[in-house]
Amino acid sequence: MLDWKEYYKNKKVLVTGHTGFKGSWASIVLKELGADVYGYSLDAPTNPSMYEICSIDTKIHSEIGDIRDYDNLYNYINEIKPDVIIHLAAQPIVRESYVNPLDTYSINVMGTANVLEAVRVMAKEGYKAESVVIITTDKVYRNDGRMEGYIESDELNGFDPYSNSKSCADILTQCYTNCFLKDNDIPVSIMRAGNVIGGGDYAKDRLIPDCIRAIDSSDTVKIRNPHATRPFQHVLEPICAYLMVGALQTMDRNYEDNYNIGPIAEGGISVEKMLAIFENVWNDNNISKNKPFKFEIQPDNSKMVEANVLSLNTDKITSKLSLKPVWNIEDAVKMTAKWYAAYLQGEEMYSYSVNQWKEYICLL
């Protein structure tokens, strides 16, 4: 296997959505790999946020701008001339997509089109990016309720506005790749990861952040869909996969592809089971003695429909990249719980997060 980590040394890498949860982790990891990191996105979507907790704005170049503003985006990309683009910026919350479907479509679909259009136009003008990685999601597939995992060639047609907007983004990326970027010899891969957990996520309507908020305010967390199955894994797994593909596809075009990323051994895990693991780790391992974790099942009667069973087939990434998850779900929950406990105990969280990456990468 080619050395993908070395590739990033002194590379200019643009991360869209750098103020978000995954974008913050990606920025930290890229800095550790020696990259010169540039970010383009709106302000951090949550308060608190990993971006602010880790003072990431002091470590990378950051441009606050809307991904829907093509001229602004183009000017920024044209000014930097990045070697690699990792496109993460999105409206990523299913519930929010029911409230604001049009915004969700415009951010997720036109935002992706704008990134690819900037790459296309710049190539015409003489500057070619070395590598582009577009992040969609496991929810891009038409969910037919099957138990066995979806494969990369399955039909794309997510049900709810978030999932569907990501299916659109995925399809348009394939179009831009085939019609424009292949001709310009610019490799583009699409990465479809399942739900992730990890320290620093404070999004609404995500399981662990809801737990952390409840712990922080000595509350009981209410769980609306305990039997929902999700292919949870630690955020460092997809971050590592994105960066690995981003580097490898510049060295060997066979790596340019669409990839599912998710846990292999357990497949999906139910929300209920995952909470039981979190509860054990939090309450039994002395992580935070005076802040106990309590949860209660409370079915949601709203009309919103969210896909119930989702599992991914990850054979392609496992065989092509020899990439398997490093941490099982228990390890992932443990690392996550430890991150939040460290934060609550006043640790310096940039270094703490770097250390979690070091623990992760030495097992890969």
Ligand X SMILES: NC(=O)c1ccc[n+]([C@@H]2O[C@H](COP(=O)([O-])OP(=O)(O)OC[C@H]3O[C@@H](n4cnc5c(N)ncnc54)[C@H](O)[C@@H]3O)[C@@H](O)[C@H]2O)c1
H-helix or E-strand containing 277?
Answer: helix 271-284
- Rounded least distance, CB 193 to ligand X, Å: 5
User: Does 41 contact ligand X by CB under 6 A?
Assistant: yes
- Rounded least distance, CB 43 to ligand X, Å: 6
Amino acid at 290: N
Specify the residue, 109 or 288, whose C-beta has the smaller distance to ligand X: 109
> Cα(185)–Cα(304) distance, rounded to whole angstroms?
43
Is-contact 38 65, C-beta < 8 A?
A: no
CA angle 111, 120, 65 (to 5 degrees): 35
Amino acid at 149: G
Nearest to 38 by CA among 49, 50, 48, 26: 26
The only residue of 8, 13, 14, 19 in contact with ligand X, by rule CB under 6 A: 19
- Rounded least distance, CB 292 to ligand X, Å: 26
- How are beta strands 188-193 and 131-135 bridged, if at all? parallel
The only residue of 193, 247, 264, 326 in contact with ligand X, by rule CB under 6 A: 193
The only residue of 4, 12, 23, 356 in contact with ligand X, by rule CB under 6 A: 23
Name which of residues 127 to 146 contact ligand X (CB under 6 A): 135, 137
Specify the residue, 214 or 261, whose C-beta has the smaller distance to ligand X: 261
Of the listed pieces 41-49, 214-222, 284-292, 316-324, which binds ligand X according to CB under 6 A? 41-49
User: What are the backbone dihedrals phi and psi of residue 13, each rounded to the nearest 5 degrees, phi first?
Assistant: -120, 125
> Cα(41)–Cα(230) distance, rounded to whole angstroms?
27
The only residue of 5, 32, 36, 42 in contact with ligand X, by rule CB under 6 A: 42
132: β partners = 85, 188
The only residue of 45, 209, 231, 268 in contact with ligand X, by rule CB under 6 A: 45
- Rounded least distance, CB 172 to ligand X, Å: 14
User: Does 325 contact ligand X by CB under 6 A?
Assistant: no
Name which of residues 49 to 108 contact ligand X (CB under 6 A): 66-68, 88-92, 107
User: Does 336 contact ligand X by CB under 6 A?
Assistant: no
CB atoms within 10 A of CB 35: 24
> Cα(353)–Cα(359) distance, rounded to whole angstroms?
10
The structure tokens listed for 49 are 């946020």
Interacting residues with ligand X (CB under 6 A): 17, 19-23, 41-42, 45, 66-68, 88-92, 107, 135, 137, 193, 195-196, 203
